[in-house]
Amino acid sequence: MNIKLVLIGASASGKTSILYRIQHETFIETTTTLSISVVRKEIEYNNQKVYLQMWDTAGQERFDCITPTYYRSCQAIGITCSVDSYESLQKAHYWYNQIKQYADANVKLYLIVNKIDLVDNVQLTDAAVQGFASSHELLIFKTSALTGDGVNEFVEQVLYDCTKDENVVIEKSISLEQVKRGKCC
Ligand SMILES: Nc1nc2c(ncn2[C@@H]2O[C@H](COP(=O)(O)OP(=O)(O)O)[C@@H](O)[C@H]2O)c(=O)[nH]1
Ligand SMILES: [Mg+2]
């Protein structure tokens, strides 16, 4: 199955670095203009092959200029902010509203709080993060693209949430087949 995952959020919050970490399991120093556009990673998950298709911006978020097609047909969106920038959490409100306007209504949404390695430069309070996340029912993932902390947990959750729905659909269609063949009950 295919899963389209999109990361969106303040410029320099670490989207490109997180996607690079997911793809290559390492960190490279990026610039905000560097983007990796679309990358695919094949993952074996619960005995099924999952193609994770990850979309990165080319820095257009700096100008609040993301076309609606960016969100089209995606199953999961990580709204990204970074612990060293209070402004990045304020920006998350803007991106949340954009998503509500353009993305599918049943898209899975997550809040990624990145750069947790910057322990001496924390601007985001837990209360502010929790407040934002709970008001929009977002699961929070605290990550560091630099150290890798929390990144796998985020990917695991995306895989779990997105394959769960697919499996329900498959199960439903199987039982429908059984009904048709008269094998049900
Ligand atoms: N310390 C630290 N720096 C990071 C982390 N993630 C990204 N960066 C740095 O933050 C800057 C912006 O990262 P980038 O991935 O380009 O952000 P984007 O604009 O959201 O794609 C770059 O200098 C990265 O090296 C992280 O987890 N920890
Ligand atoms: Mg980027």
- Reported as a single tens digit per residue, the pLDDT across 109-151 is 999 999 999 999 999 999 999 999 999 999 999 999 999 999 9
Q: At what angle do helices 86-102 and 126-135 cross, to 10 degrees?
A: 10
Coil/strand/helix, residue 3: strand
pLDDT in tens, 13-63: 999 999 999 999 999 886 655 665 888 999 999 999 999 999 988 777 777
Handedness of CA 100, 103, 107, 108 (dihedral sign): negative
| pLDDT band at residue 70 using 50, 70 and 90 as cut-offs | confident
> Per DSSP, what are the bridge partners of residue 24?
none
Nearest protein Cα to ligand 1, atom 26: 115
- Select from 30, 34, 70, 117 the residue to mutate for testing ligand 1; criterion: most ligand atoms less than 8 Å from CB: 30
pLDDT of residue 69: 81
Start-end of H helices in 84-183: 86-102, 126-135, 151-180
Query: 2-178 — its CATH code?
Result: 3.40.50.300
- Domain range summary for the chain, segments of one domain joined by +: 2-178
* Residue with tokens 């924390």, as numbered in its chain: 122
Secondary element (H or E) of residue 48: strand 48-55
By the 10 Å C-beta count (0-12 exposed, 13-18 middle, 19+ buried), 136 is classed as middle
Ligand 1 atom 25, closest CA: 29
Q: Is the pLDDT of residue 163 over 50?
A: yes
Distance CA 34, CA 164 (A): 33
Atom of ligand 1 nearest to the CA of 62: 19
